[in-house]
């Protein structure tokens, strides 16, 4: 079963449809690569996908432990390299609400560091993960 449908709209823009839900989002080429930069670039979605995955698996674990991490945010910084053009570094800074005890913090950090996207990224991509409790 297919996961998504990507349609090229022209002018370096794609529309991405999640087939199960019908939800969509747009990508644009970045301004440093001939694009308008009016939406996430494809490499932005990869970098942001890391934070999405980390927060999601930590949310599952937090729910199982009856720990509230609602309001957690992640700031993502993607660094590009040339020759070949690629993501060279992804930095994720996670900011959690107060009130999460030390034991839960350690479990959640371990859970975040074992998310499927992190395991799927090329080993040459530097990953810098910061947990702010």
For the question of whether the overall pTM of this predicted structure is more than 0.85, the answer is: yes
CA separation for the pair 111, 13 (Å, rounded): 35
Which residues are CB-contacts of 103 (< 8 A; sequence separation ≥ 6)?
none
pLDDT tens-digit map of 54-110: 999 999 999 999 999 999 999 999 999 999 999 999 999 999 999 999 999 999 999
Say whether both 50 and 81 belong to one domain: yes
Q: How many domains does the chain have?
A: 2
Say whether both 59 and 119 belong to one domain: yes
pLDDT at 106: 98
Say whether both 96 and 128 belong to one domain: yes
CA separation for the pair 55, 113 (Å, rounded): 10
CA separation for the pair 53, 32 (Å, rounded): 27
Say whether both 111 and 75 belong to one domain: yes
């Amino acid at each position: 079963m297919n996961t998504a449908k990507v349609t090229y709209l022209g002018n370096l823009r794609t529309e991405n449809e999640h087939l199960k839900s019908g939800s969509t989002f747009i990508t644009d080429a970045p301004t440093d690569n001939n694009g308008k930069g009016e939406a996430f670039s494809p490499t932005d979605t990869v970098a942001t996908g890391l934070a999405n995955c980390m927060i999601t698996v930590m949310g599952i674990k937090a729910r199982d432990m009856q720990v509230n991490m609602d309001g957690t945010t992640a700031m993502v910084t993607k660094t590009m390299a040339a020759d070949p053009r690629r993501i060279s570094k992804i930095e994720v800074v996670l900011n959690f609400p107060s009130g999460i005890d030390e034991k839960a913090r350690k479990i959640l950090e371990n859970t975040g560091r074992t998310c499927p996207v992190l395991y799927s990224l090329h080993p040459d991509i530097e990953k810098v993960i910061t947990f702010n409790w």
